Structure 1
Amino acid sequence: MDVVDAHCHIISEDLTAYPRAPLGGKQSTWAATRPVTAEGMVSRMDATGIAQAVLVQATTNYGYDNSYVLDSTRRQPDRFVAVGTVDPLRPDAADSLKAAVGEGGLSGVRLFTSGSTVPTQGEWFAAPETHPFWEQAAELNLPVCLQMRLGAATAQLTELLNRFPGVTVLLDHIGYPDIAASPARAGAEVAELAVHPGLHLKLTHRNLERLQDAGERAADFLDPVLGAFGAGRIAWGSNCPAAEQSLPELLALAEQVLAGLPESDRRQIFAGTARRLYGSLGTSGS
């Protein structure tokens, strides 16, 4: 089966060429204890049978310096595309975004509004100062990965999607829905967001582990979400090496949880959606 990893991170061993500059000044634990270089990621991909991957900027190691994901993609364009982190609040955010994309540049961007080193959910991603950035992203048809938590900022996300219906947003980790508390309630809350056609979901171990724990009740989440979004708006990502498991284990987890889906849905989730979002990946695995 063709597989594209829509969410993995790389960190260089060369601190001179690629110095650390984590957002907020705090490096994440995983970046410090289990980093993986671009070459190491290729080795893991080969061992797992993964054709291509989306290199998502390690914000908790490099902040807004996208040099390593860009350089790694330029060295191996047949295996990688680059998603960089940007600051949409800067007055020149729109112009900078336009300059950063294109051949040899970014294929997408990521806004890191909440995570392991940013426990308080930020609402700044929908502030009026960011509107030129969002307008430019829509004009460029550039996917924007949004790392955020539903509930705490769902109102801001909805406001943003209503204001910019032409923008493509890929919700990292599906916004951390509380599947453990109630798969059915979490599924219903996520499914409501499908009315926004530009919104896509990134399915990772942070969701899949909860679905595995839910057993048969996993369908209470998956059925309404798939029914509302369709598999063509859902992409699998490993989150390697932020996840503690190995890349083969992360892919096996996804395959196990999604085993009951139609083959056509699985093809979309494991590769098709990512290939449409990031056209430079091509239409099929090499």
Structure 2
Amino acid sequence: MDIVDTHCHVISEDRARYPWSPLGGKASAWAASRPVTADGMAARMDEAGIAQSVLVQATTAYGYDNSYVTDSRARRPDRFLAVGTFDPLAPDATARLGAAVGDGRLAGVRLFTSGSTVPEQGEWFAAPQTYEFWHAAGVLGVPVCLQMRLGPATRRLVEVLERFPDVRVLLDHLGYPDIAASPGRAGKEVAELAAHPGLYLKLTHRNLEPLRDAGEEAVEFLAPVVESFGAGRVAWGSNCPAAEQSLPELVGLARGVLAPLPASARAEIFAGTARRLYPALAGSGR
């Protein structure tokens, strides 16, 4: 099976060349305890049967300095694309976005509005000061990965999707719906967002683990989400090495949870969606 990993992180061993400056001022525990270099990630990909990966900036290590993911992409364009963390509130955001994607350094950008080291959900991603950025992302065709938690801020996400319908927004970790509490309720919450055609879902271990644990009830989440969005708007990502499992184990987790879906849907989730979101991946895999 063709597999593209849309969400993995790399950390350099060279702290002098790539100094840490984590967003929120605090580095994530995984970045220090189980870092993986770009070369190490390529080796793990070989073990897991993954053709290509999207290196998503390790925001809780490097903040807005995307040097390591872009350098890694430049060294191994056959295996990697780079998605960099971006500040849409910066005065020169539109020009910087055009420059970063225009020379091929970045295939997409990520807005980090909440996470393990930034526990309070920010709503700044929808502020009027970001409108020029969102407009430019739509014009340039740049996918925007949005790290956020569904809940009170969902209304702000909807505002962005309605105001900028041409932008493709890829929701990291599906927005952390509470699958463990109620797969059915969480599935309904996510499925309602399918009305916005620019929204795509990134399915990772943070969702797959509670779905595995839900057993037969997992279908109560998967069925409405896949039916409403279509598999062509869902992409798998490992979240390696933030996830504690090995990359082959993470692939196995996804295969197991998604086994009830038709083969055509699994093909979309494991690779097809990613290759449409990031056209530079097409035809350059091993």
TM-score range, shorter chain: over 0.9
The letter for the 2-side match of 1:221 is: F
Number of residues of Structure 1 aligned to a counterpart in Structure 2: 286
Secondary structure, aligned partner of 2:15: coil
The letter for the 2-side match of 1:54 is: V
1:152 to partner: Cα distance: 2.9
Q: Is the 8 A contact 2:126 2:160 kept in 1?
A: yes
Partner of 1:222: 222
1:132 to partner: Cα distance: 0.5
Partner of 1:117: 117
The letter for the 2-side match of 1:218 is: A
Partner of 1:191: 191
Q: Which aligned pairs between 1:86-235 and structure 2 lie closer than 5 A?
A: 86-235=86-235
1:284 to partner: Cα distance: 7.0
The letter for the 1-side match of 2:268 is: Q
1:285 to partner: Cα distance: 3.8
Secondary structure, aligned partner of 1:101: helix
Partner deviation per Cα, 1:115-160 (whole Å, 9 max, x = no partner):
0000000000000000001000000110000000001310100011
Partner deviation per Cα, 1:35-88 (whole Å, 9 max, x = no partner):
000000000000110000000000000000000000000000000000000110
1:268 to partner: Cα distance: 0.3
1:24 to partner: Cα distance: 1.7
Secondary structure, aligned partner of 2:102: coil
The two structures have a TM-score, normalised by structure 1, of 0.99
CA RMSD of the aligned region, Å?
0.8
Secondary structure, aligned partner of 2:46: helix
Structure 1 alignment gaps of length 5 or more: none
Secondary structure, aligned partner of 2:65: coil
Q: Is the 8 A contact 2:79 2:285 kept in 1?
A: no
Partner of 1:255: 255
Identity of aligned residues (%): 72
The alignment status of 1:85 with 2:95, answered yes or no, reads no
- CA distance in 2 between partners of 1:26 and 1:162 (Å): 34
- CA distance in 1 between partners of 2:29 and 2:9 (Å): 14
Q: Is the 8 A contact 2:150 2:176 kept in 1?
A: yes
Partner deviation per Cα, 1:192-221 (whole Å, 9 max, x = no partner):
100100000000000000100110000000
1:105 to partner: Cα distance: 1.2
Q: Is the 8 A contact 1:2 1:285 kept in 2?
A: no
The two structures have a TM-score, normalised by structure 2, of 0.99
Q: Is the 8 A contact 1:2 1:284 kept in 2?
A: no
1:282 to partner: Cα distance: 1.0
Question: Cα distance 1:283–1:276, how it changes in 2: closer, same or farther (>3 A)?
Answer: farther
Partner of 1:21: 21
- CA distance in 2 between partners of 1:26 and 1:237 (Å): 24
Partner of 1:59: 59
The letter for the 1-side match of 2:52 is: Q
Secondary structure, aligned partner of 2:142: coil
1:102 to partner: Cα distance: 2.9
Structure 2 alignment gaps of length 5 or more: none
Partner of 2:10: 10
